[in-house]
Amino acid sequence: MFEFKLIASDGNARVGSFSTPHGEIPTPVFAPVGTQATVKSLTPKQLEEIGAILILANTYHLFLRPGDDRIARLGGLHQFMNWNKPILTDSGGFQVFSLAKINHIDEDGVTFKSHIDGSFQRLTPEKSIAIQENLGADIIMAFDQCPPPYDRELNERALERTHAWAERCLKAKTRPDQALFGIVQGGVFEDLRKKSAQFIASLNLPGNAIGGLSVGETKEEMFRVLELSDAILPKEKPRYLMGVGTPYDIVQGVARGIDIFDCVLPTRLARHTTALRTKDRLNLVNASYAEDPKPIDDTCECYTCQNFSRAYLRHLILAKEMLAATLLSIHNVYTLLKLTREIRQAILTKSFNTFLEEFQSP
Amino acid sequence: MFEFKLIASDGNARVGSFSTPHGEIPTPVFAPVGTQATVKSLTPKQLEEIGAILILANTYHLFLRPGDDRIARLGGLHQFMNWNKPILTDSGGFQVFSLAKINHIDEDGVTFKSHIDGSFQRLTPEKSIAIQENLGADIIMAFDQCPPPYDRELNERALERTHAWAERCLKAKTRPDQALFGIVQGGVFEDLRKKSAQFIASLNLPGNAIGGLSVGETKEEMFRVLELSDAILPKEKPRYLMGVGTPYDIVQGVARGIDIFDCVLPTRLARHTTALRTKDRLNLVNASYAEDPKPIDDTCECYTCQNFSRAYLRHLILAKEMLAATLLSIHNVYTLLKLTREIRQAILTKSFNTFLEEFQSP
């Protein structure tokens, strides 16, 4: 269980396969996000049809509603949401620091106000693991603190805490059928990032994640952090770049040794009338699409592009029909899944550099 | 084209098949409603998977948005919404009288204010047919006036108008690949209903509809109107009961010679958290379902019942997730489609009376 087979590499880009209790995850992989135990507007059947394998769910949200204990009594998250392929849960850390009102943070954990009912709640490393064990995902994440990327002093203190919490998560963990991934933090500071990568690598976990990116730093800063992490994190373990998922960032992440990506982008854009393509986006509200009989992308094989015109999608959007979000989500998620399949193929045929050049050309 | 084969009957209940340019419609049939060229929250693929054949779209809505001329330029309604099976469009009459603010009504037609942008618009029998010819449905409806069911004087005047308009619709119609159905009106008044059924039957159209029911009258009044229509309307033509679609009304309608039903009920209930079963309804918001691992209906073969618990559906509802409406719509529409299939089987085996008795038992 949790074996990572490195199948091929081309430069720093890798093709692999990560085994989990719910099947193999071919990497590089993009994981659609099912925050509240549903990838918004898509059925599990639709997700399967567009080729999704790994999906992500949010510990913070499911802890607050419907409650991880309730999900455990209903057979765990896979059964609850009817997803029989691999699931990854985050630790709740990022959401506590971005969605909730923090009441108190100390070495032991975080007290915060629920964004749903205003009640006081507390998360600690041990509690995060207990929740994630109730949910029962294949991959679970260490509880971490996510400070703003440019505050040196805060990042120093948060890093110590994140490292201590990672050790406590590992100690608290009891289920052998879940892989705990550690998270490298350290903002934009190279020395902190190096220190963090070395520490997280030393825990010898089945996988390692890079957190705290795509939160306001420049692309150059993000790429530098990825490059130095790539040099330190063990090559024989999968690397997961958390919360990152534009086509550009996926390609650049793979070029820097990343295997796993997740992002709400494709489904969020879909709910905001925007179609994602590999090199651009279409905002389908635009009047120019009113009688456009073409699909979003005439090279795309997804259900939406095979069957519906831009004019129809625009009509659904203006008429405020739910089907708009569903059809756009199908296309947007498919686009990222197809991109990772193409990347795998390019690495397998040692043509990733050509792929990268073509991708960067206008 | 538009041949109605009467395959079997049992009492007044009938099994038939109506041929259209987009395939055979086995009757009795329930038509889900796709008001704005989409059956709300369902893809055409999902609709096909649950066994939908005939669907309905609303002339009033599509005339106002995106415009019937635009749909015509995009290849017609079948291509626009990607439904390659039969479609029925109503005439716009019912919506003009129920949704719009009427500005003026005379012998020639109706001027009204659009519910979308407040603009003045006009529908006449000729305009309704022109719109429906642009949309290109297989079955189109005569433009009618729908007065409140208990106003004798208004119903008398409206009936004259509805009959004159039916003749004008027939005269205006040019497309041979569309079947025009006439509509019997007359409120709850037996003499008006008889007169109307006789007149509409005399037009010798390929099908006949009964309108103005399920709008406030009692069940007994509705059944009486159905029985007297059944006695007058030609048996060799399909009969369509407009806008009616509870399980009870479908069964009682079939018992009185009805072949075609349509209703927004299953999808509207779905968006309001309610699951339809043949003999009752579940409001899945109820706390009693919070940890209920059972499906909505353990005898149901739909995708929702085969894969999701009441507890999960309730969670989606409380979390305001769009998937709730989709999964409930799948179940609710499936329930009515399955009911009509069971009714057909009962008639074919001459056991419709037993079916009716079992259906009426608690």
Q: Do residue A303 and residue B45 have CB atoms under 8 angstroms apart?
A: yes
Average of per-residue pLDDT across A79-108? 92
Question: Does residue B182 lie within any of the structural domains?
Answer: yes
Block residue for tokens 């205006």: B172
> What are residue B263's DSSP bridge partners?
B32
Is the pLDDT score of B362 beyond 80?
no
Is the pLDDT score of B361 beyond 90?
no
Question: Does residue A201 lie within any of the structural domains?
Answer: yes
Average of per-residue pLDDT across A287-305? 98
Question: Does residue A132 lie within any of the structural domains?
Answer: yes
Average of per-residue pLDDT across B190-214? 97
Q: For chain B, give the percent of residues with pLDDT over 70.
A: 100
Could you tell me the two tokens for B234? 């030609």
Could you tell me the two tokens for B318? 């409380």
**What is the count of structural domains for chain A?**
2
Using CA coordinates, name the residue in chain B closest to A37.
B316
Question: Does residue B360 lie within any of the structural domains?
Answer: no
- Distance (Å) from the alpha carbon of B196 to chain A's nearest alpha carbon: 36
Is the pLDDT score of A360 beyond 90?
no
> Which residues of chain A are within 8 Å of residue B32 when distances are taken between CB atoms?
none
Question: Does residue B362 lie within any of the structural domains?
Answer: no
Contact predicate A81/A48, CB 8 Å: no
Structure confidence at residue A103 (pLDDT): 83
Q: Residue B182 is part of which domain span? A: 4-263
For residues A101 and A132, state if they share a domain: yes
Query: How sure is the predictor about B171, in pLDDT bands with cuts at 50, 70 and 90?
Result: very high
- Alpha-carbon distance of A189 to A209, in angstroms, equals 17
> What are residue A240's DSSP bridge partners?
A209, A260
- Alpha-carbon distance of B239 to B221, in angstroms, equals 18
Average of per-residue pLDDT across B131-148? 96
Average of per-residue pLDDT across A214-234? 97
For residues A112 and A101, state if they share a domain: yes
Query: How sure is the predictor about A246, in pLDDT bands with cuts at 50, 70 and 90?
Result: very high
Out of A263, A297, A331, pick the residue that ends a domain.
A263
- Alpha-carbon distance of A69 to A178, in angstroms, equals 17
Q: Would you report the helix, strand and coil content of chain B in percent, each value rounded to 5? A: 45, 20, 40
Average of per-residue pLDDT across B245-268? 97
Structure confidence at residue A193 (pLDDT): 98
> Which residues of chain A are within 8 Å of residue B309 when distances are taken between CB atoms?
74, 80
Q: For chain A, give the percent of residues with pLDDT over 70.
A: 100
Structure confidence at residue A169 (pLDDT): 98
Using CA coordinates, name the residue in chain A closest to B287.
A66
A:285-304 residues touching chain B, CB 8 A cutoff: 290-291, 293, 303
Q: Would you report the helix, strand and coil content of chain A in percent, each value rounded to 5? A: 45, 20, 40
For residues B224 and B108, state if they share a domain: yes
Instruction: Using CA atoms of B240, B245, B249, B251 in order, give the dihedral in degrees to the nearest 10.
Output: 80
pLDDT in tens, A34-58: 999 999 999 999 999 999 999 999 9
Q: Is B309 an interface residue toward A (CB < 8 Å)?
A: yes
CATH of the domain at A108: 3.20.20.105
Average of per-residue pLDDT across A235-244? 98
Q: Do residue B70 and residue A36 have CB atoms under 8 angstroms apart?
A: no
pLDDT in tens, B283-338: 999 999 999 999 999 999 999 999 999 999 999 999 999 999 999 999 999 999 99
Q: Which of A327, A4, B73 is nearest to A335 (CA)?
A: A327
Block residue for tokens 């995060």: A128
For residues A154 and A288, state if they share a domain: no
Contact predicate B113/B121, CB 8 Å: yes
Is the pLDDT score of A362 beyond 90?
no
For residues A280 and A239, state if they share a domain: no
Of B82, B291, B316, the CB nearest to A308: B82
Average of per-residue pLDDT across A281-290? 98
Catalytic residue of the set A68, A90, A144, A249: A90
Give the helix/strand (H/E) hosting A32: strand A29-32
Q: How many CA atoms lie within 13 A of B142 on its CB side?
A: 31
Out of B263, B279, B294, pick the residue that ends a domain.
B263
pLDDT in tens, A130-159: 999 999 999 999 999 989 999 999 999 999
Question: Does residue A362 lie within any of the structural domains?
Answer: no
Is the pLDDT score of B224 beyond 80?
yes
Structure confidence at residue A334 (pLDDT): 98
For residues B34 and B172, state if they share a domain: yes
> What are residue B5's DSSP bridge partners?
B17
Which of B322, B327, B328, B331 best probes binding to A when mutated, by most A CB atoms within 10 angstroms? B322
Q: Which of B3, B10, B47 is nearest to B25 (CA)?
A: B3
pLDDT in tens, B104-122: 899 999 999 998 999 999 9
Out of A263, A287, A311, pick the residue that ends a domain.
A263
Query: How sure is the predictor about B131, in pLDDT bands with cuts at 50, 70 and 90?
Result: very high
Amino acid (one-letter) located at A325: A
**Model confidence pTM above 0.95:** yes
Is the pLDDT score of B93 beyond 90?
no
pLDDT in tens, A156-209: 999 999 999 999 999 999 999 999 999 999 999 999 999 999 999 999 999 999
Of B61, B312, B322, the CB nearest to A81: B312
Q: For chain B, give the percent of residues with pLDDT over 90.
A: 95
A90: annotated active-site residue: yes
Angle CA A46–A50–A55, to nearest 5: 80
Average of per-residue pLDDT across B89-96? 92
B:32-61 residues touching chain A, CB 8 A cutoff: 36-38, 40-46, 61
Q: Which of B114, B124, B119, B127 is nearest to B145 (CA)?
A: B124
- Alpha-carbon distance of A255 to A246, in angstroms, equals 14
**What stretches of chain A show up as alpha helix (H) in DSSP?**
44-49, 59-64, 68-73, 77-81, 93-98, 125-135, 152-172, 190-202, 219-232, 247-255, 265-271, 303-307, 310-318, 323-348, 352-360
Longest dimension (CA), chain B: 60
Give the helix/strand (H/E) hosting A294: none
Could you tell me the two tokens for A304? 């939406």
Query: How sure is the predictor about B276, in pLDDT bands with cuts at 50, 70 and 90?
Result: very high
Query: How sure is the predictor about A319, in pLDDT bands with cuts at 50, 70 and 90?
Result: very high
Question: Does residue B18 lie within any of the structural domains?
Answer: yes
Q: How many CA atoms lie within 13 A of B141 on its CB side?
A: 26
For residues A35 and A126, state if they share a domain: yes
Block residue for tokens 């990152």: A244
Q: How many CB pairs under 8 A join A and B?
A: 108
Average of per-residue pLDDT across A249-275? 98
- Alpha-carbon distance of B227 to B253, in angstroms, equals 9
- Distance (Å) from the alpha carbon of A261 to chain B's nearest alpha carbon: 24
Q: Which of B113, B118, B120, B62 is nearest to B91 (CA)?
A: B62
Are β-strands A110-113 and A120-123 bridged in parallel, bridged antiparallel, or unpaired?
Answer: antiparallel
Structure confidence at residue B108 (pLDDT): 95
Other CB atoms within a 10 A radius of the CB of residue A301 amount to: 10
For residues A174 and A299, state if they share a domain: no
Contact predicate A54/A31, CB 8 Å: yes
Average pLDDT, chain A: 97
- Alpha-carbon distance of B296 to B311, in angstroms, equals 10
Structure confidence at residue A1 (pLDDT): 86
For residues B56 and B189, state if they share a domain: yes
Could you tell me the two tokens for A337? 């899944």
- Distance (Å) from the alpha carbon of B246 to chain A's nearest alpha carbon: 24
Of A36, A319, A325, the CB nearest to B65: A319
Is the pLDDT score of A237 beyond 80?
yes
| CA distances for B357 relative to A199, B345, B346, angstroms | 74, 15, 12
Catalytic residue of the set A10, A138, A259, A262: A262
For residues A257 and A325, state if they share a domain: no
> Which residues of chain B are within 8 Å of residue A67 when distances are taken between CB atoms?
none
For residues B221 and B321, state if they share a domain: no
Is the pLDDT score of A100 beyond 90?
no
Residues 6 or more apart whose CB falls under 8 angstroms from that of A361 comprise none
Other CB atoms within a 10 A radius of the CB of residue A223 amount to: 17
- Alpha-carbon distance of B91 to B55, in angstroms, equals 15
For residues B316 and B219, state if they share a domain: no
B90: annotated active-site residue: yes
Structure confidence at residue A101 (pLDDT): 85
Q: Is B114 an interface residue toward A (CB < 8 Å)?
A: no
- Distance (Å) from the alpha carbon of B35 to chain A's nearest alpha carbon: 10
Query: How sure is the predictor about B250, in pLDDT bands with cuts at 50, 70 and 90?
Result: very high
